[in-house]
Structure 1
Amino acid sequence: MQGTPAQFFDGLTSKKHTVTVALSDDRQALMIAGDTLPGPLRWQLGDLRALSDTADTERLTVTRHAASDDEAPRDVARLVILDPDLIAWMHKTRPNLWKAETHPGHVRKLFLYAGGAVVATMLMLFVILPAMANTLATLIPIEREIAFGKTVVNQMERQLRWMDEDRDLGCTNPAGRQALNKMLTRLTAAQEMQYDISLKVLDHSMVNAFAAPGGQVIILRGLLDKAESPEEVAGVLAHELGHVESRDSTRLALRAAGSAGLLTMILGDFTGGTAIALIGENLISASYSRDAEGAADLFALDMLEAAQVDAAGFAQFFEVLKDMEGIEIPEYLSTHPVTGARARQAFDFADAQGPTNPILTDDEWSALKAICKGD
């Protein structure tokens, strides 16, 4: 192949050298010659690497595979080939022309950096954020917590009625509301509560109850349907009130908010509404720590004792939930783990209780069960 015009850049200066380039006699290298070069240059064909950032398709810019301090081990010099025939021949015969080059160990470093990023993210999500949430939960003024909790509850309601957005889930049967208020008053009468409890029942088949920040407590109709006595519901309600008083739901919400913020930085494009939705979803499926669940159980038992409500109902509800395993897994069972030890603790507590009185009459219990059936 005869010499053809090309351009050469030594990479050390900005000067462009007008050169000719041709195949060597043994056809194993490109020979580069020019009046402004110190002498002819021999570039082995096997060392040639094309630069993929060349925008002009009518030219081919190549360099050599060589030791360097750059990310890719390449020579700083560049050769711009202008001859279409030579460019076509290079594409056809040089399989390594577009081979990506990295320093030895570079891939290993990338994996190490990626692993470090994952570890740092997990550390933030599971260690630092929970610790920050525990601290912040004790610093937020109750008034702001209540306002925040109402926003979260509204989002939770939207999530629960996502298939029928125009439907009002609130259960407002007057007799049922009166029975529910009587239960709440009986449980809290002997307690010094931090919050004015906002308690509502939502018309949803999920077997669940949950606490939101600021004293918001929600019971779903599915839980009332499964309960066999008002004392069972009272035990669950007292348990959720324990989470309220310990501000567990606020800690969980803050942790979810922090997680949303961290994921925003990592993944991008999370809106404020999405963060609130994530918080709501976390609270609907609230999975508190074993210590938090144990503390809420003890709070519930003490509350039932002070209100002279039979704690056997609380224990019996554990049994109702366990009987449902293998048939359907209720939300309350999956997010508030039912263990034999927790049930036995409640039964043992009930055996040692003093005098108790029914928390609702039969008629009031029937009204509570029917709270979602209209006025």
Structure 2
Amino acid sequence: MTGQDVDWVFADLAQGERAHLTRVQVAFHPEALVLGMPSGEQVTWNWNNLRRLPDQADRRVMVLSRKGDPLTRLYLTDQAAQKFVTQHARSLRKRDRATPLSKVALWAGGAVASVAAIIFLLVPLMATQLAEILPPEGEKALGDTTFEQIRTALSQTGFEDRLRICDDPVGSAAMQAMYTRLNPDADLPYDVQIHILDHPMVNAFALPGGRLVFFRGLLEEANGPDEVAAVLAHEIGHVVYRDPTRDALRSAGSLGVLGLLFGDFAGGTVALFIANQLINASYSQAAEARADDYAHELLEKANISPVALGTFFERLYEEHGDAEGIVAHLASHPQMADRISAAQAAVDPNRDYDTILDAQTWRDLQTACGGQGNHSSSIVAPDKKPWSRTE
């Protein structure tokens, strides 16, 4: 096979645009390989640009590509043609220069920056907008679902059961009396529901749709009812400003983006993550300060000293250090000292403050989870309706 005396042989060409193979003729010249296309066009492949690719399906076939065009491949089956190519193409085994690591790192950095911008900038912005327009029914449904997820996640008896809601009527009445005394006048599109869960965690949090959740551990750790009232007022502030809804939407959006990247489309991980995020709610400093200010005003209006909002967290942190639940959240917050100072500054030194519950009612509230069965109930406010059974 030399010069113009070479005969044409048949081969298959894959041009990379589709999987279809094109039957072509191939002629071999000392200076290049020439492809005869079905259209009559002739395409020249220089020997120095030819690269051989391993063929996993049939080792008897020689697979050729060109430098800079790895998707276009020529499949040669003629043995004499293969021998001629091997003799003339000196760079068959040569590997083309890989993409520089600096460029790969640049691309990777750009991709990470794009995802970070979506998660930390675009998703929070969209969550803020959606929280303002989400229908009350949708917001309440989100809170209801998340509440049951939390009860299931914290249950120690398996996924078939849920954490018990304390249903002592006397303790329920005590919590209702505390809410009534605070008497928030926010015009919310749904009733505020307060739940006490039978769990030793020292924590309280708000859910979308007006649900407020207290754990037994917080009631047992509090020195007096004013500390619980301060926490209640703070969580009411989060509900008024719809912080739980915004946080749930932000978490769902972020997990949705990560799910697209890592393949979790089932939604179960997202739901559990949202539940965990709301248990350990860590809102922005602006949201926390806003809820604190709301609590100060609500406590002052009820003639309860606002200082209780700071002393409770300060005392628990001193006693337990970096514990779980609300203590850990407040301790890790970079503005904890400022928030305690703000609570102290909100106190009127010329005013004689009351306590929100008398001694007996306070004992009733602290023992709301004692000696109860597996029934559940909830407080509905501000309409002062009696506790209603919910399962």
Q: TM-score, normalised by structure 2?
A: 0.75
- 1:131 is displaced (CA, Å) by 1.3
CA pair 18-348 structure 1, distance change in 2 beyond 3 A:
closer
Task: Say yes or no: does 1:345 pair with 2:342.
Answer: yes
Looking at structure 1, the residues matched to 14 and 265 of structure 2 have their Cα atoms a distance apart, in angstroms, of 44
- 1:82 is displaced (CA, Å) by 5.9
Q: Secondary structure at the match of 1:359?
A: coil
Per the alignment, residue 370 of structure 1 pairs with 367
Per the alignment, residue 291 of structure 1 pairs with 286
The range that moved more, 280-289 or 340-349, is 340-349
Per the alignment, residue 80 of structure 1 pairs with 76
Whether the aligned pair in 2 keeps the contact of 1:304 and 1:310 (CA below 8 Å) is: yes
Task: Say yes or no: does 1:58 pair with 2:52.
Answer: no
CA pair 213-10 structure 1, distance change in 2 beyond 3 A:
closer
Per the alignment, residue 128 of structure 1 pairs with 122
Whether the aligned pair in 2 keeps the contact of 1:54 and 1:61 (CA below 8 Å) is: no
- List alignment gaps of at least 5 residues for structure 1: 25-29
Q: Secondary structure at the match of 1:211?
A: strand
CA pair 352-52 structure 1, distance change in 2 beyond 3 A:
farther
Looking at structure 2, the residues matched to 346 and 303 of structure 1 have their Cα atoms a distance apart, in angstroms, of 12
- 1:53 is displaced (CA, Å) by 5.6
Task: Say yes or no: does 1:187 pair with 2:182.
Answer: yes
CA pair 81-162 structure 1, distance change in 2 beyond 3 A:
farther
Q: Secondary structure at the match of 1:256?
A: helix
Runs of 4+ with deviation above 6 angstroms: 9-13, 18-21, 30-34
Aligned pairs for 1:231-310 (under 5 A) are: 231-310=226-305
Per the alignment, residue 228 of structure 1 pairs with 223
Whether the aligned pair in 2 keeps the contact of 1:61 and 1:81 (CA below 8 Å) is: no
- 1:9 is displaced (CA, Å) by 6.4
Q: Secondary structure at the match of 2:142?
A: helix
Looking at structure 1, the residues matched to 91 and 363 of structure 2 have their Cα atoms a distance apart, in angstroms, of 81
- List alignment gaps of at least 5 residues for structure 2: 1-7, 16-20, 36-41, 373-391
Aligned pairs for 1:126-205 (under 5 A) are: 126-161=120-155, 164-165=158-159, 166-188=161-183, 191-194=185-188, 195-205=190-200
Whether the aligned pair in 1 keeps the contact of 2:171 and 2:364 (CA below 8 Å) is: yes
Per the alignment, residue 388 of structure 2 pairs with none
Whether the aligned pair in 1 keeps the contact of 2:26 and 2:33 (CA below 8 Å) is: no
Looking at structure 2, the residues matched to 82 and 53 of structure 1 have their Cα atoms a distance apart, in angstroms, of 15
Looking at structure 1, the residues matched to 32 and 253 of structure 2 have their Cα atoms a distance apart, in angstroms, of 61
Q: Secondary structure at the match of 1:138?
A: helix
Aligned pairs for 1:321-360 (under 5 A) are: 321-324=316-319, 326=321, 328-336=322-330, 337=333, 339-352=336-349, 354-360=351-357
- 1:262 is displaced (CA, Å) by 1.9
Per the alignment, residue 110 of structure 2 pairs with 116
Looking at structure 2, the residues matched to 118 and 186 of structure 1 have their Cα atoms a distance apart, in angstroms, of 50
- 1:48 is displaced (CA, Å) by 5.5
Whether the aligned pair in 2 keeps the contact of 1:49 and 1:96 (CA below 8 Å) is: yes
Q: TM-score, normalised by structure 1?
A: 0.78
CA pair 9-146 structure 1, distance change in 2 beyond 3 A:
closer
Looking at structure 1, the residues matched to 260 and 73 of structure 2 have their Cα atoms a distance apart, in angstroms, of 39
Per the alignment, residue 217 of structure 1 pairs with 212
Looking at structure 2, the residues matched to 116 and 351 of structure 1 have their Cα atoms a distance apart, in angstroms, of 54
- 1:127-173 deviation digits (Å, cap 9, x = unpaired): 11111111221112223322221112111222222653325421112
Looking at structure 2, the residues matched to 32 and 250 of structure 1 have their Cα atoms a distance apart, in angstroms, of 67
Whether the aligned pair in 1 keeps the contact of 2:206 and 2:244 (CA below 8 Å) is: yes
- 1:64 is displaced (CA, Å) by 5.0
Looking at structure 2, the residues matched to 18 and 116 of structure 1 have their Cα atoms a distance apart, in angstroms, of 44
CA pair 276-366 structure 1, distance change in 2 beyond 3 A:
same
Q: Secondary structure at the match of 2:346?
A: helix
Q: Say how many residue pairs are matched.
A: 350
- 1:318 is displaced (CA, Å) by 2.2
